[in-house]
Structure 1
Amino acid sequence: MNDAPQLRIPATYMRGGTSKGVFFRLEDLPDFAQAPGPDRDALLLRVIGSPDPYKKHTDGMGGATSSTSKTVILSRSEREGHDVDYLFGQVAIDRPVIDWSGNCGNLTAAVGSFAIANGLVDADRIPSDGICEVRIWQANIEKTIVAHVPIRHGEVQETGDFELDGVAFPAAEVQIDFIRPADGEGALFPTGELVDELEVPGEGRLAVTCINAGIPTLFFRAEDLGFTATELQGAINDHPEILARLERIRALGAVHMGLIERVEDAATRQHTPKIAWVAGPKAYVASSGKAVAAEDIDLNVRAMSMGQLHHAMMGTAAVAIASAAAVPGTLVNEAAGGGDRNSVRFGHPSGTLKVGAEARRDGARWTIEKVSMSRSARVLMEGRVRVPAPE
């Protein structure tokens, strides 16, 4: 029986974009959790309240959705030209798994704010008033991100009038720049094709754009999957047979992209790749009741996260959308009307989002130099999180 006192660990509960998670400084974690491995995973799982067979996270800080079952570990960066190292863990809800294979673009918006407030950015780089550029090393995917954090009277400005669909209240705008976001050192299009054919048993060959930008993502035409790309969460998440079908397609796509060797391995890699479907602009009513007009968007996109249709759009998937839209010939570019473009506004279940991309072509090879979008972030609670000590 474990009747030892609970551990009390300094932590901050933050919203970033349309996600929220528990943020830690690496140095504040117990010694046994300061290095990667099963001990760290066990601690963070307990913080979130996973695994929970009831899928509620009643005994932890998680919110029992992919958007709210997240952990972040930050430390001062020793990498030249960077302020902070950012490590993200996506926590499964009903299984003892933390997926470290990708980034969370939404929580990226909160990384700069946390770093400034917690002494991870040199004081001489923080203006009294204005914008502080926090240079982030994203350790999961080994990429540079720059967060433009507003500062007032030497402190992070969190309040403001910037509205983000999928978030109930306005806040200060934080611009995020994802620098050369292609995954790792691999090609932007890992199969070498802008559009592939994926053989799916029982469904035949499906056209797919496989891209490594922000996060590895599989883009399908909505009509090929029997969808419209105007679906809200209930139309997908309330149907186990649809969820199982999409997971099968995602697993086959993961093998096709070379991310896993066997379809069965996808069960331990739920965070990546993402699966999404696209269609041309169509009017629909968002989950908030807001009417989205076809003329206000370039295309509609719906994306899955951790086995569920996302309530808005993952920030990293938005990077993938912008990158694919910037390259003529992809399914995303096709859905947006084709041609050259350096920005796109797409519809998602909670509303719309505009994101820009700078693409460069060198012969047959495409490179994305930068993807930019605006998000917001806010501290929800700070203090100490309590966790039963390990036996």
Structure 2
Amino acid sequence: MFNKKDERRNACMLTGKFKKRGYDWWWHSFTAVNNTTGQEVPFFIEYFLCNPALAKETPTLGQLPQNKADGTKPSYLMVKAGCWGEKKVQLHRFFAWKDVNLHGKAPYSVSADDCFASDTKLLGSINISEQDAASHPEWMCDAGSMSWNLELDKQVAFNVGFGASALFRALKAFEMYWHAEGMKTLVSGTITLNGESYTVKKENSYGYADKNWGCGFTSPWVWLSSNDLVSNVSGKRLTNSVFDIGGGRPKVFGIALERKLLSAFWYEGKPYEFNFSKFWTGTKTTFSYEETAEEIVWHVEQQNHHALMRTEMKCKKSDMLWVNYEDPDGNKRFKKLWNGGNGYGNVKLYKRHGKKLELIDDITVGHLGCEYGEFED
């Protein structure tokens, strides 16, 4: 069963060869309310670690022209924060490793200056002037300011199984690993963005928290998750439900596994999992992506021996941004990694009886976290 919290999987994974060629990040997304206008705004905050064994006196940024020419790899803690929607913004703050205090073992924590992250708490601030943003394209971010003080209560986990087990972690078998300690997370606290104050309340935060680590990224890159779910059968809000879909083209021991997704649906306390690594479940997946003039659209169908899940999601391009990363080699292989926090759509969940399907629920989805991108080398 996938709903198993595991602080060890949520610990820092930059050991062995990943110290010199590896990244590890903790991602958080949620919804806040503007204290003046009452408008909902989806936010994200991430703490991204890269190549600690290559540390220098200052953060080493891979997108600097000289570093690209020399093949100098990046090394830093990057704190990423921002929001989606009409005022979308992506802010980055970099720290040298000598200024970082990392407790890598479970339960993890990482801090630098006034920025802090753990399983239960997020603190921090970023302030980027227009002049600095324009003068430093290697920062890969916009101008703006944001500060936050947040509490996390992780309710439902997506433990993907033996693919991220202690053995496979020790072997560094996968190019990119995934663990969601809080695919449903209750978030509370305060945010200030560009001078405007926001409040985050547990009951309507629609929070999410996961982590990825490894030595490279997957292409294509797919992510869809929401816990804002309403049944079209009963008309009731599903208060103990969340789904999470992720993957694309994982590599294990250097061998690519084409078009593979992992997904889990915690439906009112009952688990439905579609996990290709659990081969005995007979999981099969088809998915497609399309970009229209105004929207990004995802179609996913997954089935195992006992259930089937059809997912149709959309997000307005005007509300999304291109989230920016460089890999541990200093390559920025995604030019358009679409990333959003207020997508919407529909999920149909079925019970399988051989070839016959019995509808469990037809569900309207809101506050969708979503992502899609492919390498453009």
Structure with the higher helix share, 1 or 2: 1
Structure with the higher strand share, 1 or 2: 2
- TM-score of the superposed pair, with normalisation by structure 1: 0.28
Bigger RCO of structures 1 and 2 (CA < 8 A, at least 6 apart):
1
- TM-score of the superposed pair, with normalisation by structure 2: 0.29
